[in-house]
Amino acid sequence: MRHDDNLTADRPTFVTHLECSMTGERYEADRLHGLSAVGRPLLVRYDLAAAARALTPEVLAGRPADLWRYREILPVRRTENIVSLGEIATPIVDLPAVARAAGASNLWVKDEGRLPTGSFKARGLVMAIAMARELGVTTIAMPTNGNAGAAAAAYASRVGIEAVIFCPADTPEINVREIAAQGARVYRVNGLIDDCGKLVGQGAKARGWFDLSTLKEPYRIEGKKTMGLELAEQFGWELPDAIFYPTGGGTGLIGMWKAFDEMEALGWIGSKRPRMYAVQAEGCAPMVRAWQQGERHATRWEDAHTVAAGIRVPQAVGDFLILDAVRQSNGAALAVSDAAILQAVDDAARTDGLLLCPEGGATLAAWRNALAEGLVAPDDKVLLFNCATGLKYPMADQSRTLDRNGPIDFASL
Ligand SMILES: *Cc1c(COP(=O)(O)O)cnc(C)c1O
């Protein structure tokens, strides 16, 4: 397939091909792909030397602060296939009180809860849906713990693609309802996310649905890599010392790691990399177990449970990509308890006014442990990820009532 129109487009992409993340085998761009022949994720490759001439930090600085500003190193060929609900550059907010209480400084949160549909799943799904549109898909299907399904539903509806979504039966009510509200057909399934994934696979065979599962199509990684591009620019092209990422399928961690290499090839940053900390919950920690045992692949975690539904992922097809990045960066895979997660959410909201989601709380809890164990220094520049708005999650009822007709002791209020 030729795309000469790409040469005359106002902002072309420099995609050259796709590549198996495991074997390096080459795949043609501009065609529908799932996993590679060996069943592993495909990575999108670009002509970065040419892209470097078109896209520089100076050019970027003149563009709107959104995800599509990286157009040249994103996969969409034709500008008309771009879809958007306003994917803003998310702010990086500090946690001064929480840091001080731990004897540290320089603690930052990238607050992804500001994105459309309230989570960073918007980054991955806006790209996956734009590419599905470009490649002629009419129905997508995916398993979800909630946020991915919501983002998929929203973007699919916006471009007129049908969406069929399967979630574990105990997915939070708000997620199931928002998925339906945004136009998808959503089903609760009596199983976990990988059980839902199997249904998607069967439906794909039976009905020709396009499987949009985490890392089973190549473009969600490209959307998520914009977190890495964005944070580098926000930190003045100097990456932080450590990044704590709540890891389910690992799309964001893998995407950021890819972004760092691409930016170095583009000449935007040097060779310094943050230590990457993959954070999981004690009740579902397949990456932590594999990391501790020195394995490159992780086995399925049985009886997965945690309050942080977004990281309740028993098995990940990109396990080796997560573990490679953690090891190459000198980071670690860390597990935290649900109690520590909830405490962290409470502390950040109460003392610094930032309401984290439980998965974001997990990164704070993991940082606290890492600081106590000496894995991070008190003055290390640390970036946590808050992946969704805390408003989507149940909050403890701490309200009190007041009888306006009785005597009120204002001094006691
Ligand atoms: C999906 C999700 C995660 C995990 O992200 P991955 O990149 O798939 O590992 C973490 N937190 C929340 C809130 C999520 O929705």
333: left (phi over 0), alpha (psi -120 to 50) or beta: beta
Question: Where does ligand 1 bind, in terms of residues with CB under 6 Å?
Answer: 119, 121, 147-148, 214, 246-252, 310-311, 357, 359, 387-388
- Residue whose pair of structure tokens reads 């964005």 in the numeric block: 230
**Distance from the alpha carbon of residue 341 to the mean position of ligand 1, in angstroms:** 15
Q: What confidence score (pLDDT) does residue 11 get?
A: 56
pLDDT tens digits, 238-264: 999 999 999 999 999 999 999 999 999
Candidates 3.40.50.1100, 1.10.3720.10, 3.40.50.300, 3.10.20.30; correct CATH number of 121-211?
3.40.50.1100
Whats the size of the chain, residue-wise?
413
Nearest atom (ligand 1) to Cα of 147? 15
Nearest atom (ligand 1) to Cα of 224? 7
**Distance from the alpha carbon of residue 246 to the mean position of ligand 1, in angstroms:** 6
Mutate to test the pocket of ligand 1, among 109, 115, 117, 120 (most ligand atoms within 8 A of CB): 120
The boundaries of every CATH 3.40.50.1100 domain in the chain are: 92-118+219-391, 121-211
**Distance from the alpha carbon of residue 287 to the mean position of ligand 1, in angstroms:** 14
Mutate to test the pocket of ligand 1, among 359, 391, 392 (most ligand atoms within 8 A of CB): 359
Mean pLDDT check: name the lowest of 94-98, 159-163, 171-175, 321-325.
171-175
Q: What confidence score (pLDDT) does residue 294 get?
A: 97
Q: Tell me the Cα Rg of the chain.
A: 21
Question: Structure pTM?
Answer: 0.95
Contacts of residue 333, defined as CB under 8 A and 6 or more positions apart, other chains included, come to: 247, 277, 278, 279, 280, 285, 287, 288, 290, 291, 292, 322, 323, 326
Across the range 179-192, mean pLDDT stands at: 96
pLDDT tens digits, 12-57: 899 999 999 999 999 999 999 999 999 999 999 999 999 999 999 9
92-118+219-391, CATH topology level: Rossmann fold (3.40.50)
